[in-house]
Amino acid sequence: MTDARRRGFTPDSGRRMETTGDSGPGGEPAAGSRAPGATPRAGRPEDAAVRSRVTLQDVADRAGVSLSTASRVVSEGPRRVGRQLALRVNQAVADLGYTANLQARAVATGQSTMVGVVVHDIADPYFSTIASGLMDIAHPLRLLVCLSSTTDHEAGEREYVALMRAQRARAVIIIGSRSDDAAQLAGLRAEVAAFTRSGGRAACISQDLLGVDTILPENAAGAEALARALVVQGHRRFAVLAGPRGLLTVRDRVAGFTAGLASRQVSLDPRLVVPGAFTRDGGYEAMSTVLAMGGERPDCVFAVNDVMAVGALARLRAAGLSVPGDIGLAGFDDISTLRDVYPPLTTVRLPLERMGEMAARLVLTEAATDRPRVMPVPGEVVLRDSTGTFP
């Protein structure tokens, strides 16, 4: 780095002072830096802006401390200073209205205070609840969570991770199912690897396919346990609202549910496995398809997520059918909005907020490990009034 001179003013007297160095600790840029011996050009509008910008050196001068001491106080680094010095620096920060240049700090340290989080649908309480849990961990650490929603799965996630790498984000957390598109998955995995090589940390909440720390919901096991419980309640003929084709979460939950029925000698008619969007409207439309099939009506309908189940419930009411009197209904996830659903919905409970906390701790508070960690999260079957009990 070249030896440059920085021009500034002490806040008390306004007299000009000369100090050397292009930047201060933590990447704080020197205001009005110029090459040695260069003649400043007067009269430019930007000169006034440079002279009026409050720098960390101004804070140190006002507090009567060294630049390194002021930097330690402002950045709240691991090396602490005495209480009285800290009070003086903080008072100077308040008096001068100083704001740290986070972009410059990111350039100097190679890492910003940003944490990237990408979900498939922020309107779905499944994703927003998980995001809330990880924000609870990030906030006390004074980290900025940048949340994005994409329905493009691996393609959109890859673009977002690339953006976070360009922003020197500290960590990225990817929430949502993987798809069966091998090429897109490989592209996302490569971008995540590039992000971690650049010094960032990464985690995902989904299937263990990205080579990073993973929170793994036990989708198949939860759906299997639900199927067995519904058979015990007396249900024998089932329909499944299966969500979008190609999503591995759908595959796992349908496969687990089918296996659970088979373990009780109950078969699932493939025609009654109906795909649909992972939304309320998707559940409404898929339920319409089931009702339009005619023939013997199912005893119970399993929607592979709760949001679809809410749409299915609305469709059943529109058809004049009683739940559970005419047909049972179950979901998966136990999202918070089920508190307002009547009748209360049978589902598989996942600790969504805790899953977010777990992912955040892995990349924000815990040391990195040589090999990625995989933390399975089991689901809990919660039987409520929507499925009832049949002889």
pLDDT more than 70, % of the chain: 81
CA atoms within 13 A on the CB side of 332: 32
> 72 CB contacts (<8 Å, ≥6 apart)?
25, 79, 80, 81
Please answer whether residues 174 and 206 qualify as being in contact, where contact means their C-beta atoms are separated by less than 8 angstroms.
Answer: yes
387 with 329: CB under 8 angstroms?
Answer: yes
Residue 343: band (very low, low, confident or very high) from pLDDT cuts 50, 70, 90: very high
pLDDT tens digits, one per residue of 311-342: 999 999 999 999 999 999 999 999 998 988 99
> How far apart are alpha carbons 346 and 256 in whole angstroms?
17
Residue-level pLDDT at 56 = 75
pLDDT greater at residue 34 or residue 104: 104
Beta carbons within 8 Å of 27's beta carbon, 6+ residues apart: 101, 104, 105, 106, 107, 108, 109
**H/E stretch holding 150:** none
Instruction: Tell me the pLDDT band of 111, cut-offs 50, 70 and 90.
Output: low
Q: Mind listing the pLDDT tens digit for each residue in 240-260?
A: 999 999 999 999 999 999 999
Mean of the pLDDT values across residues 61-77?
A: 77
3-state secondary structure of 333: strand
**Beta carbons of 156 and 184 less than 8 angstroms apart:** no
Q: Looking at the predicted structure, is the pLDDT value of residue 170 above 60?
A: yes
| CB burial readout 314-343, b (16+ within 10 A) else e | ebbeeeebebbeebbbbbbbbbeebeebeb
